[in-house]
Amino acid sequence: MYTRLTHKELKERPREQLLNFKRTKKFLVAIDTDGCVTDNMNGKQILIFHPHFMEFYNLWEIESYYREIAEYYNLFSEHRGCNRFIAIQLILHALYERNDVQQIVKEKNIKLPDLKILEDFIEYTKKNNLGLGNQSLEKYINEERPTTLGLYKLLGWSEAVNRTFPHISAEIPPFDGVEEAVKLMSQYADIIVVSQTPYDDLADYWEKYSLAQYISLIAGQEMGTKAQHIEFAKKSGGYADDEVLMIGDAIGDLKAVKSNNGLFYPVVPGEEEKSWREFEKAFERFIKHEYAGKFEEDLLDKFNNVLSQKEPWNQPNYDHIEHYKKYQNLRVQLYKRFNPTGRLLVI
């Protein structure tokens, strides 16, 4: 049964619930949240993550380039759903490597964020087996780099993102069919939420929409990677490979469960409600041990084809303005709905 961690538990022993997980059902189901349970992936990236970063680092003069790159990695590529700091690492690499961006940066005397201090922090979390979140960044600053001012700015951006979530992301309800599916699963499986979103945001969301009653626990970015979440719960509960199912909307979700030899059900970006409508039949196959093999392979083929594997700016006949305009209506509609006075470049 789900019990929310206190702030003290979250800070001092965030993984305790996972490491001491008790099996109560025959199966284990891990579920992602953003973009999977709720249609908030586009909104949280376009309205929160990206403008906050441009504001903190004064990058508005390259807004079209920043948004194009950030949207690709966070929404339309195999990296969809990755940790926020990993996403920034990918974005900054692209900004530094693109000749067209570098030309504008030089002409306008724009200073790009320091990539090395971010990569040093990411490496620190790997070496110390820490979750890649704000708590780890605070620990890194306090113990290793207390005078590195750029890290305080990075932390400020991440904290600003979290503070904005309740005003936008949390207001978007679950997809139709989610509650029915979770209720069905809870009869046969222990359900855990696995995500790279901060724990409190996840707990607030699952509690707000009365979904927490069906789950066993929530694992956020503070508990490690999604692969680690599944690994700990699977090992603690003693589940067989074909007794573990992950439901997600990103390649990272697929990799997380496959690294633990489990099975995957994709919530296909752009076809989320259809995916949830068709879930009951798939779940029936899962609990009958008829899921692995051709049935799962067919689902994965379609899923893999949806998320682009290559950067658009490295493709033949690429035109930056035309590609930026490709998703312009999506941006405009989100701003009209949630932040009509917000800053957005419309071409």
CATH number at residue 188: 3.40.50.1000
Please check whether residues 151 and 202 belong to one and the same domain: no
Please check whether residues 114 and 154 belong to one and the same domain: yes
Judge whether 200 lies within some domain. yes
Please check whether residues 19 and 49 belong to one and the same domain: no
Please check whether residues 145 and 182 belong to one and the same domain: no
Number of Cβ atoms within 10 Å of the Cβ of 119 = 14
Please check whether residues 35 and 53 belong to one and the same domain: no
Please check whether residues 191 and 237 belong to one and the same domain: yes
Please check whether residues 285 and 181 belong to one and the same domain: yes
Judge whether 342 lies within some domain. no
Long-range (24+ apart) CB contacts under 8 A made by 199-207 are 199/5, 199/10, 199/14, 199/223, 200/10, 201/162, 201/165, 201/166, 201/169, 201/170, 202/33, 203/4, 203/5, 204/166, 204/170, 205/33, 205/38, 205/169, 205/170, 206/2, 206/33, 207/4
46: closest CA among 342, 316, 312?
342
**For the chain, what is the mean pLDDT?**
95
Out of 124, 154, 169, pick the residue that ends a domain: 169
Say how far residue 68 (Cα) sits from the centre of its chain: 18
Judge whether 327 lies within some domain. no
Please check whether residues 162 and 198 belong to one and the same domain: no
Domain count, the chain: 2
Q: Return d(Cα 93, Cα 128) in angstroms, integer.
A: 24
Q: State residue 343's pLDDT score.
A: 98
Judge whether 338 lies within some domain. no
Please check whether residues 189 and 132 belong to one and the same domain: no
Please check whether residues 127 and 220 belong to one and the same domain: no
Please check whether residues 34 and 181 belong to one and the same domain: yes
Please check whether residues 187 and 294 belong to one and the same domain: yes
Judge whether 326 lies within some domain. no
Q: State residue 270's pLDDT score.
A: 83
Judge whether 137 lies within some domain. yes
How many residues in total does the chain contain?
347
Tens digits of per-residue pLDDT, 294-323?
999 999 999 998 887 789 999 999 999 999
Judge whether 226 lies within some domain. yes
Q: Return d(Cα 233, Cα 231) in angstroms, integer.
A: 6
**Adjacent-strand bridge partners of 217:** 192
Q: Please give the model's pTM, rounded to 2 decimal places.
A: 0.80
Q: Return d(Cα 333, Cα 23) in angstroms, integer.
A: 44
Number of Cβ atoms within 10 Å of the Cβ of 15 = 16
Out of 130, 146, 169, pick the residue that ends a domain: 169
Q: State residue 248's pLDDT score.
A: 97
Q: State residue 239's pLDDT score.
A: 98
**Under-50 pLDDT residues of the chain:** none
Domain hosting 222: range is 7-39+176-306
Q: State residue 309's pLDDT score.
A: 73
Q: State residue 172's pLDDT score.
A: 85
Q: State residue 131's pLDDT score.
A: 85
Judge whether 319 lies within some domain. no
Question: 126 Cβ partners below 8 Å, 6+ apart?
Answer: none
Q: Return d(Cα 115, Cα 132) in angstroms, integer.
A: 16
Out of 141, 169, 197, pick the residue that ends a domain: 169
